[in-house]
């Protein structure tokens, strides 16, 4: 259904108003254009540029912003205008300037964004995603960890499934710096697969089974994962040459459920390791 709150085609417009005023002179009648004022915004944001003339000769240009006051305030639009003027000044001051090299932010705005708004530096723990996950399992083993539809796993149940699959991946050659593709739609299996890859020390490459096979093939060709984790249902939508490992058909019963030990890994997991 069409919204009456905005223009149906676009919300931002740029107009170059270079049409001459028509000659309205009539015999024995003086005619003068009168500005009625009270500009009404037809778009969310509109910039109208008009050439200025002096004795019929060009003498610069004027620009006017019109905006919806429900969306913008005067300071915001004035900041846009200042940025546009600064950009134009930079371009005309050196005709050899590359547009991509022009700083679009005036100094005051840059300081505000970089030094104030973006001043988000803070100390972080030196642990890894895996260590934080392990700590949570120990703290609340019986609390719900994953809920999807009618299926719920406690942290202990979830961790058992993660460890079994992680050991399978370790046996398959997955370790630190190794990649594993995961082509599973949203489900408990997806979360188990992600944490199993991380537990094995690897990094996961997400695949969307609903994407075109050419795109999935390009991702696999670029990432060169050790293997692809998928389910019977999701694997049918992956390329036939994906060499997929079907999670639901793996016999994991002989793999232990207790946490994977460091000595089982092919190398140490460090904070700089991908997806840790």
What is the per-residue DSSP string for 101-120?
GS--S-HHHHHIIIIIIT--
Residue 248 has pLDDT above 60, yes or no: no
Domain-located, residue 6: no
The answer to whether residues 229 and 202 touch, using CB atoms and an 8 Å cutoff, is no
pLDDT score, position 31: 76
pLDDT score, position 249: 47
Residue 274 has pLDDT above 90, yes or no: no
User: How many domains are there within the chain?
Assistant: 2
Give the tens place of pLDDT for each residue, 111-152.
888 888 888 888 877 778 888 999 999 999 999 999 999 999
One domain for residues 43 and 135: no
Bridge partners of 62, per DSSP, are 50
Domain-located, residue 244: yes
One domain for residues 94 and 153: no
The model's pTM is 0.58
Confidence of residue 86 (pLDDT cuts 50, 70, 90): confident
Q: Which of 82, 97, 117 is the last residue of a domain?
A: 117
The lowest-confidence range among 21-25, 49-53, 125-129, 226-230 is 21-25
Domain-located, residue 157: yes
One domain for residues 159 and 34: no
One domain for residues 105 and 151: no
One domain for residues 159 and 209: yes
Q: Which of 90, 117, 144 is the last residue of a domain?
A: 117
For residue 236, what is the domain's CATH number? 3.40.50.980
Residue 110, domain extent: 12-117
Q: Which of 117, 150, 178 is the last residue of a domain?
A: 117
114: CB partners within 8 A, 6+ apart: none
One domain for residues 235 and 169: yes
One domain for residues 186 and 100: no
One domain for residues 16 and 98: yes
The answer to whether residues 175 and 225 touch, using CB atoms and an 8 Å cutoff, is no
Picking from 85, 40, 45, the residue whose alpha carbon sits closest to that of residue 67 is 45
Domain-located, residue 270: no
Please list the alpha-helical segments (H only) found in the chain.
74-93, 107-111, 129-139, 155-171, 188-199, 213-223, 232-235
Domain-located, residue 86: yes
- Measure the CA–CA gap between 156 and 258, rounded to whole angstroms: 10
The percent of residues above 90 in pLDDT, for the chain, comes to: 31
Residue in the structure block whose two tokens are 């079994």: 164
Residue in the structure block whose two tokens are 């107009």: 15
Give the tens place of pLDDT for each residue, 190-205.
999 999 999 999 999 9
Domain-located, residue 4: no
What mean pLDDT is predicted for residues 39-60? 84
């Amino acid at each position: 259904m069409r919204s009456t709150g905005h223009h149906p085609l676009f919300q931002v417009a740029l107009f170059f108003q270079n049409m001459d005023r028509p000659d309205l002179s009539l015999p024995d009648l003086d005619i003068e254009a009168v500005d009625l004022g009270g500009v009404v915004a037809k778009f969310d944001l509109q910039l109208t540029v008009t050439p200025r003339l002096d004795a019929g000769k060009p003498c610069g240009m004027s620009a006017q912003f019109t905006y919806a006051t429900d969306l913008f305030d005067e300071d915001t639009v004035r900041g846009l205008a200042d940025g546009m003027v600064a950009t134009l000044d930079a371009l005309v001051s050196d005709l050899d300037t590359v547009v991509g090299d022009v700083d679009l932010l005036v100094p005051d705005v840059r300081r505000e964004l970089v030094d104030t708004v973006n001043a988000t530096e803070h100390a972080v723990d030196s642990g890894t995603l895996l260590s934080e996950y392990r700590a949570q399992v120990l703290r609340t083993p019986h609390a719900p960890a994953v809920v999807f539809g009618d299926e719920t796993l406690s942290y202990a149940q979830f961790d058992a499934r993660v460890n079994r699959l992680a050991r399978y991946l370790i046996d398959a050659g997955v370790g630190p710096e190794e990649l594993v593709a995961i082509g599973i739609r949203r489900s408990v299996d997806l979360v188990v697969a992600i944490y199993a890859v991380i537990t094995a020390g690897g990094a996961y490459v997400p695949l969307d089974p609903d994407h075109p096979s050419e795109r999935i093939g390009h991702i696999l060709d670029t990432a060169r994962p050790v293997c692809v984790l998928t389910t019977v249902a999701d694997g049918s939508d992956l390329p036939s040459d994906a060499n997929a490992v079907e999670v639901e058909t793996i016999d994991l019963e002989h793999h232990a459920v207790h946490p994977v030990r460091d000595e089982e890994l092919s190398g140490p997991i460090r904070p700089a390791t991908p997806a840790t």
